[in-house]
Chains A and B, each alone.
Chain A
Amino acid sequence: MPESITDSKPEKVVCGPGLRGILRHKQPNLYWIDSQQRRYVPSKGENVIGVVTAKSGDIFKVDIGGSEQASLSYLAFEGATKRNRPNVQVGDLVYSQLIVANKDMEPELVCIDSCGRANGLGVFGADGLLFKVSLGLVRRLLAPQSEIAKDLEKMFPFEMVVGMNGRVWVKAKTIQQTLIVANLLESCENMTAQQRQTLFRRVADGSI
C-alpha cells in the first residue's frame, strides 16, 4: 500500500454492497472488483454495440443488452442535420457511447463525441460476425496492453469491435478466419494465459 494511504488516519472503508470476484489494484490507489457477469447494466460513458430495433419519429430505439432499450437521436450522428438525416435502418449495428445511464432513466446513446466528430462511432458491420461473451472477458480484451488481443493479432489481420456490453464483432479476410477468431475468443473465457497461448499456437500451426 502506498505511503500516502498509510500515513493518513485509518478510515473505515465500506466496500460493496454485494461484491464477489477478484480484488484488483492499480497504482497509486485504485481498487476494483473484477467479476464475470453476462448481463449488461448500462453505465455512463461506456462504448457499446447496439442493434437498431425501431425507428420512431426523431429517435432510434437501440437494443444494447440492458434491461431497457436505449434511445439514439438521429441528430447524434456526424454531419447530421434536420434536413440531412443519417442513413440508419432497423437491424443495423451501431457503435455508440452512453451519455445517459442511470437506473431510473432510459439510457441514451450518441454516435459523436463532444466536438461533433464520429471518432470511430456510428453505423458499422456490413458483414462480419457479432457474438456475445461475458463482461469479464470484454474488460480483459479492452484493457490496455491486452494479452489476448496481442496473441490474436499475431495469427492474421482482422477487424474487431468490442462493446462494453459484452458484444464483439469480428471480420477477417475470409469467413473461415472470422469463425476461427470468434471461436478462439469464446474459448478464452476460462483459460489461463498458458493454455491460451498453447491453443493459439496450435491453431496458427494449422493442427486444429
Chain B
Amino acid sequence: MEVCGSSNPTLREFGSEQNLLSRPDGSSSFVQGDTSVLAGVYGPAEVKVSKEIYDRATLEVVIQTKVGLPSVKERAREQCVRETCEAALLSTLNPRSSLTLILQVVHDDGSLLACFLNAACMALMDAGLPMSCLFAGVTCAIDGDGRIIIDPSAVQEKESRALMTFAIDSKERRVMMSSTKGSFTVHELHQCVAISQKASDNIFEFYRESVRRRYSKSV
C-alpha cells in the first residue's frame, strides 16, 4: 500500500486465523488488505505408488480459483509455492508419504502470491509439520515514476512497471524464491529485496504472536 522512499516499509493491514477447518490436518486463512486466501494441509498421508519418493515426502500444491478452472497462471504460482514449501519443510522426516496443500482464493486484490505464501506457512505451522525455517511472502511493485510500492493492491499492480514477489526465510532473512514481471534495473531489484526483507520482520513477528496466542489457553 505504502509508497516507499522512506526507511520504514508498511504492509497493508493483515490478519490470520488458524485451525478453522475441521477436516484438514492444518488450516489457516490469511488476509492482506482486501486479498484473502484460505489454506488447508493434509498429511503426512498415504501416497500413490506412482508419486512415491523413497527418501522424502511428496508435496502437492493446488490453487483453487474463485471462479472457473485453474489456468497456466495458477500452475506457475503453484510451482512457486511448492518450491518454497519444499525448501522450508524437512520432508525427509516423513519419507514415502504425501503432503497436500490446497489454497483457495477468497478474494484477489493484489499481492496474491505473497498471500498464498503466508497462508501456506500458517497452515503448515498449524499442521505441525517439521520445518527448518518459516517463510513470508512480500510483493513489491515499481510504478511509472520508479517509486517502490510494497504490498500493492490490484489497481496499483495494474499501473506498475514491474512487479516482484519474494519469499523470505525467517532464519537469515534470505530470499528463498523470487517471481518477477516487467522490467527493472539491478539497483531496483536490490532495493526491493532489501525492502521486502525489512517488511518480512512484521510478518514473522505476527507469526510468533499468533502461535503464542494459540497456545496460551492450553498452558
Identify the A interface with B (CB < 8 A): 17-22, 34-39, 41, 66-69, 103-104, 136, 140, 190-192
Q: Are B217 and A36 within 8 A (Cβ)?
A: no
Known: A18-B90, A20-B128. A38 touches B25 (CB 8 A): yes
Q: Are A39 and B44 within 8 A (Cβ)?
A: yes
Say if the beta carbon of B76 comes within 8 Å of chain A: no
The smallest C-beta distance from B207 to any residue of chain A, in angstroms, reads 9
Per a CB cutoff under 8 Å, which of B25, B125, B132 touches A39? B25
Q: Are A192 and B45 within 8 A (Cβ)?
A: no
Secondary structure dominating the interface of A: loop
Say if the beta carbon of B46 comes within 8 Å of chain A: yes
Q: Are B215 and A103 within 8 A (Cβ)?
A: no
Q: Are B127 and A39 within 8 A (Cβ)?
A: yes
A-B contact count (CB 8 A): 67
Per a CB cutoff under 8 Å, which of B46, B90, B132, B217 touches A67? B46
Identify the B interface with A (CB < 8 A): 19, 25-26, 42-47, 90, 93-98, 125, 127-132, 211, 214-215, 217-219
Q: Are A18 and B129 within 8 A (Cβ)?
A: yes
Per a CB cutoff under 8 Å, which of B43, B46, B125, B218 touches A22? B218
Known: A18-B130, A39-B127. A190 touches B95 (CB 8 A): no
The smallest C-beta distance from A50 to any residue of chain B, in angstroms, reads 15
* A69 partner residues in chain B, CB cutoff 8 A: 46
Per a CB cutoff under 8 Å, which of A35, A103, A190 touches B128? A35
Q: Are A20 and B97 within 8 A (Cβ)?
A: no
| CA of A53 to CA of B131, assembled, Å | 32
| CA of A67 to CA of B96, assembled, Å | 8
* B215 partner residues in chain A, CB cutoff 8 A: 21-22, 34, 36
* B44 partner residues in chain A, CB cutoff 8 A: 39, 41, 66-67
| CA of A136 to CA of B45, assembled, Å | 19
| CA of A18 to CA of B124, assembled, Å | 11
Q: Are B94 and A36 within 8 A (Cβ)?
A: no
Q: Are A37 and B131 within 8 A (Cβ)?
A: no
* A19 partner residues in chain B, CB cutoff 8 A: 130
Q: Are A17 and B25 within 8 A (Cβ)?
A: no
